Structure 1
C-alpha cells in the first residue's frame, strides 16, 4: 500500500492557467462543497492542513495537485453545489472540471465524496455521468458516517449501491468518517490499487 502521509502540495491551476504535464498517475477527488472532501483528503494523508477546510463551503477554487511521490498525485477538484459564489464563477469551475475530466490521460479514477445523509444529489449524478462517459473508474465515499446509527448507515450504503448498479463503468461504494477514521483502510487500498495499475 502506498504511503499517503508523504503527500505534499506541488502545483495548482485554474481556468486562466495551464495544467501540469499529463504523463503521470493521478486520482481525483470531487464532491459537493460541504460534503467533507478536504477533511477526507486530510484524513487519508494523515495531515491536518494539506487540503484547506472551512466552515464556509467553496474554498477550493482551483485544481490542486498533491504529490505522493514524483509520479503519483492526488488531485483536489473545486467543490460543486452549495458554494456561495457568483453564477459566472460556478460556470467557470464547472468548465474547468469538465475539461479536466474529459481530457486528462493521467487519471486512473475519481473519488466522489458525498455526505451520507444527502447522497446522490443532482450534481453528484452529473459527476458520475461525466466519469461514466469517459469510462473513468469511480469510488463513491459516503462521508460523515459518525453522524448516523449503524442501521441507517447500512441502509444508505445498500441504497446507493443499488442506485448505481446499472452503471457499466467500474464503480464502488464505501462509508467513511474523518472523525472516527472508519473506512480509512478501504479508501487507502482502493487508491493504491488504482495508482499501481
Structure 2
C-alpha cells in the first residue's frame, strides 16, 4: 500500500503560517502581517533609562539640599538662586523621567529627546547659568566638580550621569533594532 501523495498548501500538522509569509489560499502576505518598525536598541535604551533615573535622583538631591539646608524659608522668603535651583532640579528630574520612560519603551524619538535634555542640562549648568549670573567659569567648575558639600556632590554626580546618559541615549537612538513581526493567530 502506498501513502497518499502530499497535498498542496500547508502540512496538516506543521506550524501555522508566519506573519508576513504566504497564506495557503493566495500565496501573498497575510492580512494581519505587520511591518516591522525600527526601534531603539534594547541594551542601550535600558542603560540610558537607568542612567537617566540616577541623573534624576541627583537633580532631586540637589534641589532638596538647596531647599532644606542652603536657604530654606527661615526668613519667610527664598532667595532667587535657591528658588531657581529647586524648581530647575524638580522640573528637570520630571522631564528626564518622562523621556527615560519613552526610551525604555524603545521609542527612537524618546531616546533623542533624552539625549537632548541631558546635553541641555549639562551645558546650562556648566556654561549658560554662570554667564547669566556673572559667575566666572573657573568658580563654576570648582563648585560643580569640587564635591564640597551635599549640593556640590549632587550637582557633580548629576553632570557626570548626565553626560553618560546623553551618550547612552544617543547610542540607543542611532543603533536601530528590527524585531520580528508579531505573529497574530488566524482569524476564525
Fold equivalence (TM over 0.5): no
Q: TM-score, normalised by structure 2?
A: 0.23
Bigger helix fraction = 2
Q: Answer 1 or 2: higher relative contact order, Cα 8 Å, separation at least 6.
A: 2
Q: Could you say which structure has the higher strand fraction?
A: 1
Q: TM-score, normalised by structure 1?
A: 0.22
Name which one, 1 or 2, has greater alpha-carbon Rg.
2
